[in-house]
């Protein structure tokens, strides 16, 4: 399953006539094997274990390219560093929202949306697009707060 997914990604690269270079493949493989939202530094330290010849600048630039291609999504969760995840990670729900704990920095991916949430987002998108004459093609939703374990400790 995960292997098939990596192959699909390779196809996506070919379609855009972009080469699946070693840094690109390494980063996509790393992100496809984790449920975490890794920073560029964290990705770099994992890349180094596999390919010590790839430098940080290359990792950073490659992440930019992958983001432009829509393969990788960059998030800002409020800890001052961009965090990356695959747009389509076999280990994660396809479309999900985030709960960010401001104490332990845990990030919870959820796609078990409450019914009201789905209805609200649809309605909001309809109204926004009408009001601003703007075609909405997607959204990113994250909530900040205190997770269960941090709440218990307080």
Compare residues 61 and 148 and give the one whose CB is closer to Zn ion: 148
Q: Is 38 in the site for Zn ion (CB under 5 A)?
A: no
Using alpha carbons, list the distances in angstroms from residue 80 to 29, 39, 76, 139: 25, 10, 7, 21
Residue 103 engages Zn ion in binding (rule: CB under 5 A): yes
Instruction: Please identify, among the stretches 13-21, 55-63, 96-104, 129-137, the one whose residues bind Zn ion according to the rule CB under 5 A.
Output: 96-104
Distance, C-alpha 95 to centroid of its chain: 10
Tokens of 102: 């401001």
Distance separating alpha carbons of residues 109 and 130, to the nearest angstrom: 30
| Site residues (CB under 5 A) for Zn ion, limited to 68-87 | 85
- Residue from the set 42, 67, 109, 125 that interacts with Zn ion by CB under 5 A: 109
**Structure tokens, 13:** 């690269």
The 124-153 site mask, x for binding Zn ion (CB under 5 A), equals: -----------------------x--x---
For Zn ion, the binding residues (CB under 5 A) are 85, 101, 103-104, 106, 109, 147, 150
């Amino acid at each position: 399953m995960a292997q098939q997914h990596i192959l699909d990604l390779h196809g996506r690269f070919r379609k855009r006539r972009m080469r699946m270079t070693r840094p690109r493949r390494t980063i996509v493989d790393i992100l496809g094997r984790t449920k975490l939202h890794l920073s560029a530094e964290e990705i770099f330290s994992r890349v180094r274990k596999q390919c010590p010849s790839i430098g940080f600048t290359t990792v950073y630039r490659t992440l930019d390219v992958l983001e432009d291609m829509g393969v990788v999504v960059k998030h800002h969760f409020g800890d001052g560093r961009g965090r990356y995840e695959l747009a389509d990670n076999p280990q994660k729900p396809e479309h999900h929202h985030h709960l960010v704990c401001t104490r332990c920095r845990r990030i919870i991916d959820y796609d078990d949306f409450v019914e009201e949430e789905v209805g609200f987002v649809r309605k909001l998108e309809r109204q926004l697009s009408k009001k601003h004459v703007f075609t909405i093609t997607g959204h990113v939703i994250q909530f900040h707060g205190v997770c269960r374990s941090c709440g218990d400790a307080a």
